[in-house]
Amino acid sequence: MNTELKNIIQSEDLRDLSIDLVDKVIDNKVGSEIITEIPVLKYLVSIRRIHQSISDSIFIKKAMKVILEIGNVNWKERIELVNELSDEHSGGAEKIMLAIDKLESYEKCQVFGRLCRLKALNKIDTDGFMRLSRIIQNSYLHDLFSINSFVIGGKREIWEGDYHNIISMGLIFQEPSEQQKIEINHHRYDPEEPEVTGGQITFNYLLSYEGELLLKFYIDLFPEETEMVNKWRKKHKNV
């Protein structure tokens, strides 16, 4: 199956596929004339014949949700995508398969596919790709939206309860400040004036490296939320 998936990614006629056509292949509703017209389908048919169980059919559909996101990328760039993800431990297609297997929803598969597209277009390096892959796998996607109230290189005072999930994912981290100087008021004229002032500690939060990556590529990964993100960032601009 690893070979078939690699052949699909690198196929020159990948752009001719649609998820409806994938469904027909899985359900064995594609005739030989269509397979002849769109050769990449023969690899899908091979996958279907190798694995007939429901879970494997779901995996095929998950995989195609990912792969269709890079369908319009130049086929040479898709070949480079596989090659650049390969190392002495595993091939690039195998890495993509392992990542897909950890994605529990079609929505995550689509987002991961967009990340693969960024990698294929050399907009993100391999290290950044792997880090964001882990975040997509381990997160509830809608929790990631709160990252938009931060700016790269900026510090924020926050209410931790509002950001608990992205704190636990390591997307933002706490930077304690020094305690403010404690001053004793020796010349109080008003008994209501405090005798002691200062001593407060403010905790600022900053984006981690992974948080900066996510914020940088957020619109690429979630293009359908562009308008909402712009409103969010405008609202929190001066917070």
Do both 85 and 23 map to the same domain? Answer: yes
CATH of the domain at 152: 1.10.10
What confidence tier does 171 reach under pLDDT thresholds 50, 70, 90? very high
- Of residues 120 and 23, the one with the higher pLDDT is 120
Predicted local confidence at residue 82, as pLDDT:
93
Helical H segments across 71-176, by residue range: 75-85, 92-101, 106-120, 126-138, 164-168
Instruction: Give me the pLDDT at residue 229, please.
Output: 65
Q: Of 94, 118, 138, which residue constitutes the final position of a domain?
A: 138
Task: Tell me what the pLDDT averaged over the chain comes to.
Answer: 84
Last residue of a domain, one of 73, 104, 138: 138
- Asked if 44 and 25 count as a contact pair (C-beta separation under 8 A), the reply is yes
Tokens of 68: 């269709």
**Lookup result for tokens 């960032």:** 233
Query: Which residue has better confidence, 48 or 102?
Result: 102
Q: Do 124 and 207 belong together in one domain?
A: no
pLDDT exceeds 50 at position 92:
yes
Domain count, the chain: 2
* CA separation for the pair 226, 239 (Å, rounded): 20
- Domain extent at residue 66: 2-138
Whether residues 125 and 52 share a domain: the answer is yes
Query: How many Cα neighbours within 13 Å face the side chain of 204?
Result: 14
Query: In this structure, are 104 and 149 located in the same domain?
Result: no
With a cut of 80, say whether residue 190 has pLDDT above it.
Answer: no
Query: Higher confidence at residue 84 or residue 234?
Result: 84
Burial of 96 per CB tally in 10 Å (0-12, 13-18, 19+): buried
Distance in angstroms (rounded) separating the CA atoms of residues 36 and 125:
37
Residues 6+ apart with CB under 8 A from 196: 182, 183, 184, 185
Residue 187 phi/psi, 5-degree rounding, is -125, 60
